[in-house]
Amino acid sequence: MYKILCFCTVLILGGCSQSNNKPLVEDIKPDFREIEENTIINLYDAFGEDIEGLKKDFGFSCIVKFKGKTILFDGGTNADIFQNNIEALNIDLTQIDFAIASHSHFDHINGFDYLLKVNPEVKIYFPVDLFWGANMPFNISGTDSTATDSLDKRMQYFGGNYKDFHFNQTGRFWNANIEFIKESTEIEPGIKLITTTSSNMGYFNAYPSLDACESCESHGTKFDGLKEISLSLESNEGEILFVGCSHSTVEKIIIETKEYTKNDMAMVYGGYHLLPYDRETLIDLAYRLKYDHKVKKVAPAHCSGHLAFKILQDNFKENYVYAGLGEIVKF
């Protein structure tokens, strides 16, 4: 009994040393996956192998390691599913160097809510989009500014001092480390952000062009299309291009990327947004991608669609890269 009491006293006073020097439980760090250089992992998608722990959902996110930088591209539709897949793949989001939001649609950014929980200081690049907090100029004078002279000051916006008005917003991500990208730029050596704007109207279908919207033209409506950012990495084989949903069309993004980088197109990875289009249209597009734009490899995902998967696979053959949920692609 004396020996037991003495042993307990030593423990309470902190005088007992651990012979094996094992760390305390709270000091043990999870054994996270090491993402290899020049590697892409699809984190969020609706197709892929049945990998234990991963949940399929319609949306898109991937992670890439390039020149020592770990980059998150998009965040998927559902923050809980995004978290589930991150944990199932054993990925440490605190090691993300920066993230990119390709555009403002929910199926590409909602997972950032989880990202910011675990890595609140991480840099996120957004396209300049008024509806997601960008500081934007806005003309509030109306179609006839002469009407202002006949109004009392109390009826004039800002008492008449409204020229060069800019929205300066707060909102969902306003406390985050956001940088809004207005034009294509190189943010790190060999790492470029390509900006494009959709010339079409609408959100989820084969959009009518502005030219087809006669009522818009007759009313003098100014149309400002959806802003997008794509990621281009300069590899030894050419540019590795990441597209989120290609609302600007995947072809336009490729053209803009080649013009900005002055480089060949080694691979196009991500959502091609081809679900709404018919077989003939996609056969023509596959031909142009391969022969006109000299794309070496295609890795369609997300909104590309079953028909596009099939046609692109038939056309590119061994240069078709399968990129389903959880798949590791090396370049």
State yes or no: pLDDT of 317 exceeds 80: yes
Residues 135-142 have a mean pLDDT of 82
Average pLDDT over residues 195-201: 80
Q: Is 322 a member of any domain?
A: yes
Count of the separate structural domains present in the chain: 1
- Would residue 20 count as lying in a domain? no
145 or 189, higher pLDDT: 189
Helices and strands in the chain: count of H runs, count of E runs: 8, 15
Q: Which backbone phi and psi does 252 adopt, to 5 degrees?
A: -65, -40
**CA atoms 310, 265, 327, 277: torsion sign:** negative
Do the domain assignments include residue 142? Answer: no
- What pLDDT shows up at residue 246? 96
Residue 29 has pLDDT above 60, yes or no: no
d(C-alpha 46, C-alpha 55), whole Å: 8
Confidence band (pLDDT; 50, 70, 90) for 238? very high
Average pLDDT over residues 229-256: 97
CATH classification at residue 279: 3.60.15.10
What percent of the chain is predicted at pLDDT more than 70?
A: 83
pLDDT of residue 6: 39
The percentage of the chain sitting over the pLDDT mark of 90, rounded to a whole number, equals 68
Structure token digits, residue 314: 């038939």
- Please report which confidence band the pLDDT of residue 213 belongs to, taking 50, 70 and 90 as the band edges: low
Q: Kind and range of the H or E element at 271? A: strand 265-271
Specify the DSSP element, H or E, that contains 243.
Answer: strand 238-243
Query: Is residue 15 domain-resident?
Result: no
Residue 18 pLDDT greater than 60, yes or no: no
Single-letter amino acid code for the residue at 182: K
Higher-pLDDT residue of 100 and 158 is: 100
Determine the average pLDDT of the residues in 92-113: 96
Is residue 18 domain-resident?
A: no
Q: Decide if 182 is inside a domain.
A: yes
pTM here is 0.84
Q: In this structure, is residue 288 part of a structural domain?
A: yes
Distances (CA, A) of 18 to 4, 7, 134, 241: 17, 13, 56, 53
Is 111's pLDDT higher than 80?
Answer: yes
* Higher per-residue confidence, 227 vs 224: 227
Domain membership of residue 25 (yes or no) is no
Q: Among candidates 39, 119, 49, 53, which has minimal Cα distance to 89?
A: 53
Q: pLDDT at residue 210 above 80?
A: no
Residue the block writes with tokens 């793949």? 89
What is the identity of the amino acid at 104? S
Question: Domain range holding 185?
Answer: 32-135+167-330
Q: What is the rounded average pLDDT for all residues in the chain?
A: 87
